[in-house]
Chain A
Amino acid sequence: MKLKYSLVTRRTFLNTLFGGWLFAFFSGTFYALMRFAFPTLGKEPDFVVLNKKDFTDLANNSIKRFPWGGTVGLYFTKTDGSVLALKGVCTHMECNVDYKPAEKKFYCACHQGWFDENGRNVAGPPPKPLEVFVITEEGEKLIIAKKGVKVELPKA
């Protein structure tokens, strides 16, 4: 039935109304379910604080691992004694890299990717160099930070 001045029939009106309710109900339910299922994500740390004495006597041409959020960072002493801190995660598919002292290179076993002493990708699939961190010393503490991040230590 259609009233004289109505744009729609009563049937269309009711169908739209009920359809709209159903749509609103199910989309709201779905949204709430997905909100719950999607995790609240942590954040990659801007910096980590380590004990200096754990790292000072590291032999040349070797690495020591430290936790970097949920992944790994590498404290690396080169053959000439200079130090470098890198994120130890391959830029290709996120496997952990290992240091090969004989080749003086970092190696990712998952897809045979190679990085040189400065973390530059030199062979295999990795598209980018390893991320290099900034090392600062403060008393007994060693602070490893992302480049360009202002480190604000909480007051002890």
Chain B
Amino acid sequence: MNCPRLKDWLEERYDLNAIKELAKGKLIPEHRWDLWYYTGGITMFLFIIQFVTGMLLSLYYVPHIDFAHKSIIEIVTKLNMGWFFRSLHHWGAQLSIVFLFIHLFGTLLTKAYRKPRELVWVTGFILLGLSIFFGLSGYLLLWDERAFAAVRVATGGAGAFPFIGWFIKAFLRGSMDVTGDTLVRFYAFHVAILPLITLGLVGLHLILVQAHGMSVPLSLEKEKRREAPFFPNVFYKDLAVWLVVAGVLATLAVFFPPEIGAKADPLAPPPEDVKPEWYFLFLLQTLKLFPGSILGLNGETIAILLVSGAILFFFLIPFFDRKSSRGEKSPVFTWIGVIYLLYFLTMTLVGFLS
């Protein structure tokens, strides 16, 4: 790009040197584990794809109980490239969640959350929660049997929470049961409320990462190590990785278009082999471990409380892990991380196979 007059015009008005200096001064450490650095960028790239494909789909989708299912079938069958963009949006969502989890566990196991980066972890964790809510709200928009059953279970599960459960449940559903009101509500969450909050949080997450610089694993902190300039070296590598991800995404989208089930019918039972999205399977399997009642108490409530407690602990790990915040090795939290990871992987696998 070479437009001297435009450059002059801008330079007369703004101090572009500051940006240049910032780009030049940003260094990325190079070491054994620097592959983890790419997972955040990949997730952001996938988020961008989700925003763009989502905007396209919203041009044609009709968020009404009578037309929602039909409008998606029309997007896929009648519109130019409609099948492709719907498929991209579906697979982009799947990959986003995959890479969010990889990014999360990478951060956890390299202890990149330790002081002073606790808030980076906090914003990232909230973004993961939002993304899962994105997933849930997004697939109700299909208004097919599976989505209907899944949202009934998910919102009903929130209802098992003591004291505030009924409030959350009614707030999410917009009525007593999963109805057309729920569809409109989830549409509002999916296309307006969640994207705006996500944009703000991603911005904050990036600013914080920029302010702190890249974290280096504890074990490598003392060593002398090389650093590469972010621009252009690491930036180009980022782009190259994104290109590969885009290729994988397009391949999945073309060869494995997602199915659309029969239109949801509040009177009909769900299909026999109904299963939620894979990232809910570990929750489902955990719920299955609990009997209907334990010592006269509702087993559901106990299960929900335990799961919430475990997630809350996970969220607060940077504040519990005092050792790594002092810069010491903290194998206990490595083991806790490994246990969380193994539990998540096993339960997801069991849920997938059973």
Contact = CB atoms under 8 A, between A and B. Distances in A.
Mutual binders A and B: yes
Interface of A: 37-39, 41-44, 65-67, 69-72, 88, 92-98, 108-111, 121, 125-128
A152 to B, nearest CB: 22
Given A67-B267, A88-B267, 13 more contacts: A39-B174, A66-B267, A69-B177, A72-B268, A92-B292, A92-B300, A93-B156, A94-B152, A96-B269, A110-B274, A111-B287, A111-B288, A125-B288
B177 A127 contact: no
Interface string B272-295: 111000000000100110111100
Nearest to B174: A39
Contacts of B176: 41-44, 69-70
A125 B292 contact: yes
A110 B177 CA distance: 17
Contact of B156 (A94, A97, A109, A128): A94
Interface of B: 149, 152-153, 156-157, 167, 170-171, 173-179, 181, 266-274, 284, 287-288, 290-293, 298-300
Given A41-B176, A70-B177, A127 B268 contact: no
A121 B291 CA distance: 12
Contact of A96 (B173, B181, B270, B292): B270
Contacts of A37: 171
Contacts of A67: 266-267
Nearest to B156: A94
B152 A72 contact: no
Nearest to B273: A109
Contacts of B157: 93
B177 A41 contact: no
Nearest to B154: A93
B152 A109 contact: no
A41 B177 CA distance: 10
Q: Is the interface of A mostly helix, strand, loop or mixed?
A: loop
Contacts of B287: 93, 111, 125
Contacts of B299: 125, 127
A71 B177 contact: yes
A66 B171 CA distance: 27
A115 B321 CA distance: 47
A41 B153 contact: no
A78 B101 CA distance: 50
A41 B170 contact: yes
A127 B171 contact: no
A31 to B, nearest CB: 14
Given A69-B176, A111-B284, A95 B270 contact: yes
A118 B333 CA distance: 51
Contact of A127 (B175, B274, B284, B300): B300
A109 B298 CA distance: 21
Contacts of B173: 39
B315 to A, nearest CB: 24
B153 A95 contact: yes
Contacts of A125: 287-288, 290-292, 299
B156 A96 contact: no
A55 B31 CA distance: 74
A121 B170 contact: no
B274 A109 contact: yes
A124 to B, nearest CB: 8
A110 B153 contact: yes
Given A70-B179, A95-B149, A121 B269 contact: no
B171 A38 contact: yes
Contacts of B153: 93-95, 110
Nearest to A73: B267
Nearest to A66: B267
A39 B170 contact: yes
A93 B152 contact: yes
Contacts of B270: 95-96, 109-110
